[in-house]
Structure formats: C-alpha cells, structure tokens
A = this chain, B = another copy of it.
C-alpha cells in the first residue's frame, strides 16, 4: 500500500515512517461512525461539550513539546512559532467552550402567538442545531491552528458535529499524533482522520458527510467544491482559498517613515516564509516608497518552504511574473542554502499597467513575494480596487490628515474584502467575536462565512423551528423560563429572558 511520507524541508530527508493512505472502505467506516455518534454528541448539553473541548485543549498543551518537535521536523516553521501556534490552537478550543457556555450561538428565538395578523402566527420556537458529520481538510501552512485540531475541527465539534479530518500530506506525523490525542479525549466515533488524496475525495462524496471545511489552494479547493456541489445531495463546502491581500499606502503615510514602514512590511511579508493566507502580496504605494521597500526586501532572509512543490511553484510563478515583462524585479533577498529554501522577492508595476493586466497580476504566488503597484494620486486607485479578486484582507496606511482619503479607499475595497485593517498588517488573525476571516470568491467559496473566530460555528448549524410544540418536549434552550439562562430573542427582543 502506498503511504504519505513527511519530509524535513531543511534537508529534504524523510521524517519517520510513511503513514498509510486511507482506503475507501476505511473512509466509509469513519463517516458511518461519525453518523452513529451524532445523536449522542449533538444531544449532549452544550456545557458538557465545552468540557470535552477544554479537555482536548489540555491534552494538547500537555503534549506541546512532543507535538512541536515533530511539527518542526516536518515543516521547518521553527519551535517558537510552532509553540505559539499550538497555544493559539488550544486557546481557540477554549474560546468555543466559552461560547457554548454563553449559549447565544444557538440563536434561541421565542415568538408568542398572534392569531390576529396576516398571516396568523402560531407559537414558534427556533434554534440552530448541528448539521451532522463534517469533513475537514487541514491546511499545509498551519500544522496546528488550521489542521487536525484547528479552527474547523474546534468549531464543528463545538456545534455538536462529529468530524473526519483529511490530514495535509506535508505533516502526516504531526497529524497522526494530534489525532491520537484528540481521539483519546472525545467519545468514540466523534473524531476520525484520513490520509491521501483519494480518501479526501471519498470523504466529500460520502452520503454521511453533511458539510466540508477546507483551507488550501484555489485549484484544490475549487475541485473539491465542485465535487460537493455536484453530489446528488449538494452539501455546503466552506473553502478558504487564495488571497492577494492588497495594502494601500497613502502619500503621507509613505512619506512619514519610509524605512520603518518598509521594515514592518517585510516582517509581515516574510513571516513563516510568506506562507500565510493573509500575506501582503500586493502593495499600492507612491513611487517614492519603492527604494525603502526594495532595500528592506534585499536585506531580508527567506527560508525553507513547507514542501518541494510549493518551493518549485514559488520559483516558477515569480520567475514567470518577471518573464511576462509586465512587472520588474526590483529586489531579491537571500535564503539559507538548505532544502526547499526560497528568497523574498519584490516586483514593481505602474498602476496603469496593473489596471490593464489585472487578472494576470493578481494571481497569488504563495510565499514571500510581493508586487508594489505605483500610483500618483490616490483617486486613481478608486476605480481599480473594486476590480481586485475577492480577498481576505485589505489594508490602508494613512497619515493623520488622510482619514477622508482612507475612507474612500476603504469603500472601494469593501466589496472585495473580508477584513479591513488600518495602519497595521493583515498577518496575525485574532480569534475573537469580531473576527471575519473570509471574503468573496476566490478568497472563499462562500462569502457569508468565516473560518476563524466565534461565528465560524455558523457553518455547521442550521435552524429548526418548533410550532405549537409542548414545552416539555423542547430543547432546554427553548423552554419557558429560560432554564439555561442564555441570551434569547423573545417576541423580537434580544436579552437574557
């Protein structure tokens, strides 16, 4: 049987044993086990699911050293970053536990009867309930936070959905160890893991799978979205795909501190060797800022990418950009002479050329490369920005006297952007109520949803209404007297009642 082999990006050498690819029969067994576990898992009181999520978090924290060691061997992302990422992951699990205890995520809604209106209203009770077993495709670039026990898994488990994860082939050992830890805590059938591309396809097609979460490339995500959408019974597919993350630097902000700005930019660009969905790959700046940006990129040091394919793809993509004659290479950093390392790169193109070749120049080149698009007057940007492909983030840097212009730029960006950042950087995605990590196609396959933050749980729950239903037969969330003490909407009014 073929297997999924992890490699050390610093050396190209194999790490550990290959993990066997999961057969269609095994996928079937895991999906069915999820379906069998669904009634009991979804039927647990939310506070009990919260306790399980907390226990998963504690178990992962307790194995931090071991998890980080194998993840570093398989990804070369470094011990400090990976230690922080694991902590982010366990805090994320705990956030969902807090949400379950707060209870408003079910949107409990109580309407009294009104027979006198048209149409007449019976007694109605509405809440969100879990969809069923969920498939989760782990990402390459976050071996913890967007992987086996990452945000998709945490939010789906919190919702009451069993999860079957398709592991990413760049870190099979990390994935297996994480899966063992999760499995040791959650009830049987609630969690499973599969390996191999064919297993992923089988998972999306399986009748017991009711929704899918995915973080990865536009090409891979689109292929799976098409499979999910063309099932006899189409299911929701939430893909977080590519993103160019435009950053607009207004003239005063550019002039105020070019070197400081350039240093921050390069910090964001090269974080994790540029392997962030929110990597600032497209900068709109006055020509005067280019030397500082070029200097900073020249001084920057790259590193090994997660796998050989990504490294090759970064090289060929960026070289294709220069060969197209549309963008000029203005700076190139260095890279350690090891494994799959790549160097940071900066390209330049005038706004007019960019506007004429927008589709070609907004292809994502995953890694530490950026294009600086030079403009003269910020007003020239307003017709161009709404034409950008959908993107997770849009950033504006503005001086004190440029707030009005920043507002206009933001309005131009808003239709294509999920998160607007002011005088900051798009990398670093907070796990919070107020986070939206999403955006229009191709940033995601569904602009209504986020894959990070409290509201990511929405992807896995659907409403059900109970009409004239006996109180004793209702879920506790909907009973008279609000026995759980959760926020509810009663006759249209939100409150703890």
Assess the A468–B432 pair: CB atoms within 8 A.
Answer: no
User: Of B411, B435, B487, which contacts A124 at CB under 8 A?
Assistant: B435
Assess the A430–B473 pair: CB atoms within 8 A.
Answer: no
> Which of A286-294, A301-309, A459-467 is the contact stretch?
A459-467
Assess the B492–A435 pair: CB atoms within 8 A.
Answer: no
Known: A120-B428, A122-B424, A465-B419. A110 touches B434 (CB 8 A): yes
Q: Which residue of B lies closest to A87 (CB)?
A: B118
A171 interfacial by beta-carbon distance below 8 Å: no
Q: How far is the CB of A240 from chain B (nearest CB, A)?
A: 14
A270 interfacial by beta-carbon distance below 8 Å: no
The count of identical subunits is 2
Assess the B88–A422 pair: CB atoms within 8 A.
Answer: no
Q: How far is it, in angstroms, between the C-alpha of A122 and the C-alpha of B432 when the chains are bound?
A: 10
Q: How far is it, in angstroms, between the C-alpha of A184 and the C-alpha of B131 when the chains are bound?
A: 43
> Which of A327-335, A341-349, A365-373, A444-452 is the contact stretch?
A444-452
Assess the B415–A234 pair: CB atoms within 8 A.
Answer: no
Q: How far is the CB of A449 from chain B (nearest CB, A)?
A: 8
Assess the A463–B450 pair: CB atoms within 8 A.
Answer: yes
Assess the A420–B126 pair: CB atoms within 8 A.
Answer: no
Assess the A441–B233 pair: CB atoms within 8 A.
Answer: yes
Assess the B458–A448 pair: CB atoms within 8 A.
Answer: yes
Assess the B118–A433 pair: CB atoms within 8 A.
Answer: no
With a cutoff of 8 Å between Cβ atoms, the chain B residues found around residue A131 in the complex are 447
With a cutoff of 8 Å between Cβ atoms, the chain B residues found around residue A430 in the complex are 111, 119-122, 124
Interface centre among A122, A225, A430, A442 (most CB of B within 10 A): A430
Assess the B119–A431 pair: CB atoms within 8 A.
Answer: yes
Q: How far is the CB of A427 from chain B (nearest CB, A)?
A: 10
A91-127 interface with B by 8 A CB criterion: 91, 98, 102, 104, 107, 109-111, 117-122, 124-126
A129 interfacial by beta-carbon distance below 8 Å: yes
Known: A87-B118, A464-B418. A111 touches B432 (CB 8 A): yes
Mask, A466-494, CB within 8 Å of B = 1, is 11111011000000000000010101101
Mask, A324-363, CB within 8 Å of B = 1, is 0000000000000000000000000000000000000000
With a cutoff of 8 Å between Cβ atoms, the chain B residues found around residue A257 in the complex are none
Q: How far is it, in angstroms, between the C-alpha of A435 and the C-alpha of B441 when the chains are bound?
A: 30
Q: How far is it, in angstroms, between the C-alpha of A284 and the C-alpha of B441 when the chains are bound?
A: 45
A132 interfacial by beta-carbon distance below 8 Å: yes
Assess the B418–A463 pair: CB atoms within 8 A.
Answer: yes
Q: How far is it, in angstroms, between the C-alpha of A424 and the C-alpha of B122 when the chains are bound?
A: 10
A236 interfacial by beta-carbon distance below 8 Å: yes
With a cutoff of 8 Å between Cβ atoms, the chain B residues found around residue A260 in the complex are none
Q: How far is the CB of A30 from chain B (nearest CB, A)?
A: 19
Can you offer 25 A-B residue contacts whose CB atoms are under 8 A? Answer: A39-B411, A98-B492, A110-B434, A121-B432, A122-B430, A124-B433, A126-B434, A126-B455, A226-B230, A234-B445, A236-B446, A236-B448, A407-B473, A414-B464, A418-B462, A418-B463, A419-B464, A419-B466, A422-B473, A424-B468, A433-B491, A434-B465, A436-B463, A487-B494, A494-B495
